[in-house]
Structure formats: C-alpha cells, structure tokens
C-alpha cells in the first residue's frame, strides 16, 4: 500500500474491492493447484461453489483447498461470503441493522446498558445531527477542532463504515500539520479533504485506547481486539468462537487485510491462543514452530478474558433482532472495551483462524430454526 495513511483514491478503491464478492475463476483455481492434482481441485471447487457454502475461487484458494489438509466433508462446512449474505437475511431482522452500522447510535446503546465502549469527544456531521457529543456542523468548526492542541491524541473514524477504512490516529499538531499515526505529518487541509471524501455520513473523534500491559508485551502499544462470534437465539446468548487479530507494527487497526497482521484462534474456555495464521501468497498459512514469533504467541493467555466474555454476552442481548453477531472487543488497561458489533459478521475470519468451517451442527440447527429449507452439511 502507499505509505500515505490518508490516500483517498487508494482507500476508496480498496473499500470497493474488499466489500465486493469477486467473480469466480476456474483458471485461478487451476493455476493455484499443484500439478497432478488440478482436476481434483476443479471438481471439488465446483461442488463447493454450487453447494450450500457457495465458495468463490478466491475463498477456495484462501482456505488452502487447492491442496487441502482436511477431508472433503469438512470442507463442505465452510461458508463463503455469498452464502453468509443469504444466511443474514434468514436469521437477522434488517430493522436492527442501523444499530450496528451507526457508531454513535451503538455508543448510545452501550452507555445506556452500562457497558464500556470508546468515548466520542466530538462528531463531524454536515447536517448538524448528533447526540451525546459536541457536533461539528461545518468545515469551519471541523478545522477549529483540528487546530486545538488540547484535543489530541484522538482516534478518528467514519460514523458508518467497514473494515476500519478511514480510521486513523491524530497524535498532535505541529504548525499547520497534524501528526498522523505517529509517523506522518499531513496538512490540516489534506486531512479535512480526506475526511469529507471518505465518508459522506460524518466522522467520530474518540479518546485513544491504551492496551493492557500484558498485551503490550505481546504486541506493543497497538490495540489488538478479539472477534467474538455470538449466537443470540436462546434466552441467553452463547459464544461460538473467538479470534484474536494482531496488527502489525505502525498499523492503526487490526483488520486482517492489513499487511503483516496475524490471525489467531482462541480457546473460548481457557482464553489461550491455540493457532496463529498469516498471509502467504494467495492463501492463509498456519504459523509453524520455526516461525520467529511462534513461541510468543501460541499458549498466550488473554488478559481479563472471563470479564470480556461476560460483557460481550451481556451486550449481545441488547440487540435482540440480530441473531448471529460478531463483536470486536479490545483488551485495554481499563479492562475489556466493546469496539463494535457486526450483524452476521465476517465468518471467514473464524474459518481462517481455526481452519474449520462455521457450519457446525449447532449452526445448521439454528439455520433450520430460522426457516432455512435448503440442504446443509450432515
């Protein structure tokens, strides 16, 4: 990626690419498969592509199915993004989506429930809408806010948005420039241009979270968050899986698409990292014992994990219409903090981290309860 952390054209292009399900290509599967195993890979891909999981060729390759380490029945339990989108419509109530997409609405709900979340100190909205924090109604007010030294450091992110695109940290002001992500000096005019260009809905400016001391020993001063997959069908919400996203140094967020990120599978009972994965060429590779940081990561016990589980289960019940939820939870020096909720969520993170398909027996049972009438893995 370009070294400029506020490259508007590049980020708009990236957002479109990451939020689009790419068209499948038999030639891509053929090229990515070992010689002598290509016909077998093509046959398996077509079955998985046209089956309930609807895997794209990119997903088939990412999951390592060109040369699989698991059986075909196990591969059938993987769900691609196209299938995930269809499942979302079955078990989630669309009228609840706004509560997950609009970050200020989410913060208001968390505050009302007494559940920790990032604190917004100001929000930029050109229509003057907002609640719970001072509203910057126009460019002049936004500029005045950004020129006030006492406001920093702050974390900035779009009011609505996905994949942390548009998120950045402002560490301070030096003359007419703002220090961005600790590494770049960018003029206030350029920052405003970026904010207005990347989000039409507005921006939030929040206090900067500091990581738990134990997390600092693992990953430095960058915030790493756990992704909890929650089933909210019964009287009490339940945790299906947990994934830890470790960002690379100098990254402002921990999304796995960012270069150098590590994706970890966490034991939900013990809170320990059981498996770690990283990007290797076109697929996701499991970290081996000879990797430089293997011993630091595997077996690492997350701090305040039991408290995080209690808080995320409590928070999940406040979104009654969202039956399958993905929560990002930060382990901070103040304790677990709820960063955001996604309806359905990116199930690929869970699958990539664990090496197992999300369509477990329980998941399939919940789909049936929600009215799904199609075929499912046995």
pLDDT 10s digits, 266-317 = 999 999 999 998 876 666 778 888 888 889 999 999 999 999 999 999 999 9
Give the number of residues written for the chain. Answer: 378
Do 215 and 364 fall within a single domain? Answer: yes
Distance CA 227, CA 340 (A): 10
pLDDT number for residue 249 = 65
pLDDT number for residue 323 = 93
Q: Which residues contact 171 (CB under 8 A, 6 or more apart)?
A: 152, 153, 179, 180, 181, 182
Domain stops at, among 191, 207, 223: 207
Do 217 and 191 fall within a single domain? Answer: no
Domain-embedded: residue 9: no
CA 11 to chain centre: 16
Do 297 and 151 fall within a single domain? Answer: no
For 2-32, the pLDDT digits (tens) are 478 888 888 888 778 767 767 889 999 999 9
Do 361 and 223 fall within a single domain? Answer: yes
Domain-embedded: residue 110: no
Q: Long-range contacts made by residues 26-30, C-beta under 8 angstroms, separation at least 24?
A: 26/57, 28/57, 28/58, 28/61, 29/57, 29/60, 29/61, 29/66
In the predicted model, residues of the chain with pLDDT beneath 70 are 1-2, 18, 21, 131, 162, 248-260, 280-283
Do 224 and 195 fall within a single domain? Answer: no
Distance CA 149, CA 141 (A): 14
Do 163 and 86 fall within a single domain? Answer: no
Domain-embedded: residue 2: no
Range of the domain at 339: 211-369
- The three-state secondary structure class of 98 is helix
Do 81 and 160 fall within a single domain? Answer: no
Do 234 and 358 fall within a single domain? Answer: yes
Q: State how many domains the chain has.
A: 3
Q: Tell me the whole-structure pTM to 2 decimals.
A: 0.90
């Amino acid at each position: 990626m370009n070294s400029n952390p506020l490259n508007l054209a590049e980020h708009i292009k990236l957002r479109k690419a990451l939020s689009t399900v790419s068209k499948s290509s038999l030639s891509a599967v053929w090229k990515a498969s070992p010689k002598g195993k290509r016909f077998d890979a093509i046959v398996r891909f077509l079955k998985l592509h046209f089956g309930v999981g609807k895997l794209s060729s990119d997903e088939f390759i990412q999951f390592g199915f060109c040369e699989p380490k698991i059986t075909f029945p196990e591969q059938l339990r993987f769900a691609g993004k196209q299938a995930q989108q269809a499942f979302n419509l079955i078990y989630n109530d669309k009228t609840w989506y706004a509560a997950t997409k609009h970050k200020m609405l989410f913060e208001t709900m968390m505050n009302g429930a007494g559940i920790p979340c990032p604190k917004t100190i100001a929000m930029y909205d050109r229509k003057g809408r907002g609640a719970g924090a001072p509203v910057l109604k126009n460019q002049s007010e936004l500029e005045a806010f950004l020129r006030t030294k006492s406001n920093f450091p702050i974390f900035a992110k779009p009011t609505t948005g996905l994949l942390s695109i548009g998120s950045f940290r402002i560490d301070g002001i030096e003359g007419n420039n703002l220090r961005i992500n600790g590494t770049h000096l960018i003029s206030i005019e350029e920052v405003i241009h970026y904010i207005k260009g990347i989000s039409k809905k507005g921006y939030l400016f929040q206090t900067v979270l500091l990581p738990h001391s134990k997390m600092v020993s693992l990953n430095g001063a960058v915030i790493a968050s756990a992704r909890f997959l929650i089933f909210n069908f019964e009287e009490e919400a339940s945790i299906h899986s947990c994934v830890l996203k470790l960002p690379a140094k100098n990254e402002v967020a921990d999304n796995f698409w960012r270069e150098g990120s590590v994706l970890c599978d966490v034991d939900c009972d013990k809170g320990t990292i059981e498996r770690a994965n990283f990007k290797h060429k076109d697929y996701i590779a499991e970290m081996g014992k000879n990797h430089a940081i293997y011993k630091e990561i595997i077996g690492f016990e997350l701090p305040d994990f039991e408290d995080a589980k209690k808080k995320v289960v409590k928070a999940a019940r406040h979104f009654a219409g969202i039956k399958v939820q993905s929560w990002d939870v930060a382990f901070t020096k103040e304790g677990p903090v709820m960063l955001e909720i996604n309806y359905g969520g990116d199930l690929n993170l869970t699958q990539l981290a664990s090496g197992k398909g999300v369509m477990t027996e329980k998941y399939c049972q919940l789909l049936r309860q929600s009215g799904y009438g199609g075929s499912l893995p046995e």
